[in-house]
Structure 1
Amino acid sequence: MTEEFNQRKANQQVRLLHQAIYAGFTDIEGMSIWHETRADHRDVPPADADWQPVKIGDKWSGRDDYYWLRFKVQVHASEASQTVLRLDLGRTGEGNNSGFESLLFLNGKARQAVDSNHEEVFLGPEYDGQTVDIQIMMWTGLEGGGPKKSQHYVFTTAQRGPERRTVRKAYRYLSNIVNLIPELSEDNPLRYSYIRLVKHAFKGFFWATATPAETEKNAEHALALIDDFIAKHQNQKLDFAVDAIGQTHIDVAWLWRYRHTREKARRSFATALRLMDRYPDFKFFYSTPQVHKFVEEDDPEMFKQIQARAAEGRWEPDGGTWLEPDTNLPSGEALVRQFLYGTRYFEEKFHHKQTVMWLPDVFGYSYALPQIMRGFGIQRFVTIKISWNDTNRMPHDLFMWTGLDGSRVLTQFLTTVERTEDYSQSKVWNYTYNGEISPHVVMGSYHEYKDKDKSNVLLMPYGFGDGGGGPTKEMIENLHVIDKLPGLPHAKNKTVADFFSDLEQSVKDNEETYPEWNGELYLEFHRGTYTSQAKTKRNNRKLELALRRAEILATTALVEKGTPYPKKAFDRAWEILLRNQFHDVLPGSAIGEAYEDVDKLYAEAFDLVAKIIADRTTETTGIELSNPLLGATTQAFVPEKRQGEFKTADGTAVEAKRQGAGYLLPDVTVPAFGTTALTFTPTGEAPAAMQSNANQIETPHYLVKWNAAGQLTSVFDKDNDREAIKTGGLGNVLTVYEDRPTSFSNWNIDADYPEKSRVLSAESITTYQEDAGYRVVFKYQFDQSTVTQTLILANESRRLDFKTTADWHQHELLLRTSFDLNVLTDQATYDIQFGNIQRSVARNTSWEQAKFEVVGHQWADMSQRNFGVALLNDCKYGYAATDRGLSLSLIKCGVYPDTDADQGLHEFTYSLLPHRGDFIEGQVAEEAAKLNDPVVVRQHAASGLKPLFTFANADAVQVDAIKASEDGNAVILRVHNNTPGDTRFTVKPTFDFASAEQVQLDESPVAALTAGEDETFSLILKPFEIKTVAFKRN
Structure 2
Amino acid sequence: MNRTYIILLLTVFISTFSYAQHAYFADGYHGGIYGHYPVKWKTQFIVDQLSMHPDWRIGLEIEPETWDTVQIRTPEAYRQFKKMAAGEQVEFTNPTYAQPYCFNISGESIIRQFQYGIKKINTHFPDVRFVTYSVEEPCFTSCLPQILKLFGFKYAVLKCPNTCWGGYTSAYGGELVNWIGTDGTSILTVPRYACEKLEEGSTWQTTAWCNSESYLVACREAGIKHPVGMCYQDAGWKNGPWLGSGKNTKNRSHYIRWKDYIEKISVGKTDDDWYFSQEDMRVNLMWGSQVLQKIAQEVRTSENKIVMAEKISAIAHLDNGYRNNQADMDEAWRTLMLAQHHDSWIVPYNRLNGKVAWAEEIKRWTDNTNNIVDKLIKESMQSFYDQNIAVSGTNKQDEYIRFFNTLGTKRKEIANVLLPGEYASMDFKIYDWKGKEIDFQVEKEGEKNRLFFEVKVPPFGYSTYCIRKKESGKKNVPENRITSENKKSTGQEYVVENDLYKIVFDLSKGGTIKSLIAKKEKNKDFAVQTGEYALGELRGFFYEEGQFRSSAEHPAKMTVLRDNIYEKKVKIEGEIASHPFTQIVTLAKGTQRIDFDLTIDWKKNVGIGEYKEKHWRDNRRAYCDDRFKLSVLFPANLHSPHIYKNAPFDVCESKLENTFFASWDQIKHNIILHWVDLVEETGDYALALLSDHTTSYSHGEGYPLGLTAQYSGVGLWGPDYRITGQLKMKYAIIPHRGKWDEASIATASDSWNEPLLYSCHSSGKVDSKSFIDLHNTGYQISSAQFQDGRIILRLFNAEGDDKKHKIIFHIPLSGVEEVDLNGGCIRKKKIKMRAGVSEMDISMPRFGIKTFMLSFD
Alignment TM-score > 0.5, same fold? yes
Distance 1:526 1:866, change over 3 A: closer
Q: Does residue 987 of structure 1 match 2:807?
A: yes
Partner residue of 1:725?
A: 527
Which of 822, 837, 840 aligns to 2:637? It is: 822
Gaps of 5+ in 2: 1-5, 352-356, 386-398, 470-474, 609-628
* AA aligned opposite 1:822: N
- Distance in 2 between the 1:811 and 1:266 partners? 44
Partner residue of 1:691?
A: 487
Superposition pairs of residues 543-558 of structure 1, within 5 angstroms:
543-558=302-317
- Distance in 1 between the 2:403 and 2:743 partners? 26
* AA aligned opposite 1:516: W
Which of 24, 48, 59 aligns to 1:243? It is: 24
Partner residue of 1:1021?
A: 844
Partner residue of 1:408?
A: 186
Partner residue of 1:154?
A: none
Q: Does residue 770 of structure 1 match 2:585?
A: no
Alpha-carbon deviation of 1:603? 1.1
Distance 1:451 1:831, change over 3 A: farther
Partner residue of 1:710?
A: 511
Distance 1:659 1:340, change over 3 A: farther
Distance 1:678 1:185, change over 3 A: farther
Q: Secondary structure at the match of 1:934?
A: coil
Distance 1:608 1:852, change over 3 A: closer
Alpha-carbon deviation of 1:559? 4.3
Which of 229, 235, 257 aligns to 1:495? It is: 257
* AA aligned opposite 1:704: I
Q: Does residue 479 of structure 1 match 2:273?
A: no
- Distance in 1 between the 2:693 and 2:659 partners? 31
Superposition pairs of residues 663-674 of structure 1, within 5 angstroms:
663=450, 665-674=452-461
Superposition pairs of residues 597-612 of structure 1, within 5 angstroms:
597-612=361-376
Distance 1:527 1:596, change over 3 A: closer
- Distance in 2 between the 1:447 and 1:429 partners? 23
Query: Normalization by structure 2: what TM-score?
Result: 0.80
Alpha-carbon deviation of 1:451? 7.8
* AA aligned opposite 1:647: I
Which of 88, 111, 115 aligns to 1:313? It is: 88
Q: Does residue 657 of structure 1 match 2:657?
A: no
Gaps of 5+ in 1: 1-183, 192-232, 253-257, 741-752
- Distance in 2 between the 1:939 and 1:346 partners? 44
Q: Secondary structure at the match of 1:634?
A: strand
Partner residue of 2:679?
A: 862
Per-residue deviation, residues 403-429 of structure 1 (Å, max 9, x unmatched): 2111222332468999xx998xx6988
Distance 1:739 1:563, change over 3 A: farther
Q: Secondary structure at the match of 1:446?
A: helix
Alpha-carbon deviation of 1:315? 3.5
Per-residue deviation, residues 218-246 of structure 1 (Å, max 9, x unmatched): xxxxxxxxxxxxxxx9x965464343344
* AA aligned opposite 1:284: I
Distance 1:800 1:445, change over 3 A: same
Distance 1:989 1:462, change over 3 A: closer
Q: Secondary structure at the match of 2:337?
A: helix
Q: Secondary structure at the match of 2:455?
A: coil
Per-residue deviation, residues 526-553 of structure 1 (Å, max 9, x unmatched): 2534766212111211111111111112
Alpha-carbon deviation of 1:272? 1.2
Contact persistence 1:417–1:444 (CA under 8 A): no
Q: Secondary structure at the match of 2:528?
A: coil
Per-residue deviation, residues 371-413 of structure 1 (Å, max 9, x unmatched): 2222212242224348779999624354222221112223324
- Distance in 2 between the 1:1021 and 1:754 partners? 54
Partner residue of 1:353?
A: 129
Partner residue of 2:597?
A: 803
Partner residue of 1:74?
A: none
- Distance in 2 between the 1:739 and 1:628 partners? 46
Range that drifts further, 886-895 or 715-724: 886-895
* AA aligned opposite 1:446: L
Q: Secondary structure at the match of 1:264?
A: coil
Range that drifts further, 987-996 or 835-844: 835-844
Which of 764, 781, 785 aligns to 1:963? It is: 785
- Distance in 1 between the 2:644 and 2:600 partners? 28
Q: Secondary structure at the match of 1:778?
A: strand
Contact persistence 1:417–1:432 (CA under 8 A): no
- Distance in 2 between the 1:940 and 1:901 partners? 46
Distance 1:874 1:658, change over 3 A: farther
Partner residue of 1:626?
A: 404
Contact persistence 2:173–2:193 (CA under 8 A): no
Alpha-carbon deviation of 1:369? 1.9
- Distance in 2 between the 1:433 and 1:940 partners? 65
Q: Secondary structure at the match of 2:312?
A: helix
Q: Secondary structure at the match of 2:697?
A: strand
- Distance in 1 between the 2:25 and 2:763 partners? 59
Alpha-carbon deviation of 1:962? 0.7
Alpha-carbon deviation of 1:789? 0.7
Distance 1:265 1:1021, change over 3 A: same
Alpha-carbon deviation of 1:286? 1.4
Alpha-carbon deviation of 1:326? 1.3
Partner residue of 1:467?
A: 236
* AA aligned opposite 2:605: Q
Which of 890, 895, 898 aligns to 2:709? It is: 890
Q: Secondary structure at the match of 2:539?
A: strand
- Distance in 1 between the 2:824 and 2:484 partners? 58
Alpha-carbon deviation of 1:1019? 1.4
Partner residue of 2:217?
A: 447
Query: Normalization by structure 1: what TM-score?
Result: 0.67
Per-residue deviation, residues 926-974 of structure 1 (Å, max 9, x unmatched): 3222222211122449998986733254351111011135xx2531111
Q: Does residue 285 of structure 1 match 2:59?
A: yes
- Distance in 1 between the 2:55 and 2:88 partners? 11
* AA aligned opposite 2:130: Q
Contact persistence 1:623–1:938 (CA under 8 A): yes
- Distance in 2 between the 1:265 and 1:432 partners? 30
- Distance in 1 between the 2:194 and 2:172 partners? 17
Range that drifts further, 905-914 or 277-286: 277-286
Q: Does residue 613 of structure 1 match 2:377?
A: yes
* AA aligned opposite 1:493: Y
Q: Secondary structure at the match of 1:615?
A: helix
Contact persistence 2:677–2:686 (CA under 8 A): no
Distance 1:344 1:390, change over 3 A: closer
- Distance in 1 between the 2:659 and 2:722 partners? 35
Contact persistence 2:543–2:607 (CA under 8 A): yes
* Matched residues, number: 768
Partner residue of 1:95?
A: none
Partner residue of 1:526?
A: 284
Q: Does residue 264 of structure 1 match 2:38?
A: yes
Alpha-carbon deviation of 1:298? 4.7
Per-residue deviation, residues 107-140 of structure 1 (Å, max 9, x unmatched): xxxxxxxxxxxxxxxxxxxxxxxxxxxxxxxxxx
Alpha-carbon deviation of 1:793? 2.1
Contact persistence 1:627–1:672 (CA under 8 A): yes
Q: Secondary structure at the match of 1:553?
A: helix
* AA aligned opposite 1:963: Q
Contact persistence 2:105–2:673 (CA under 8 A): no
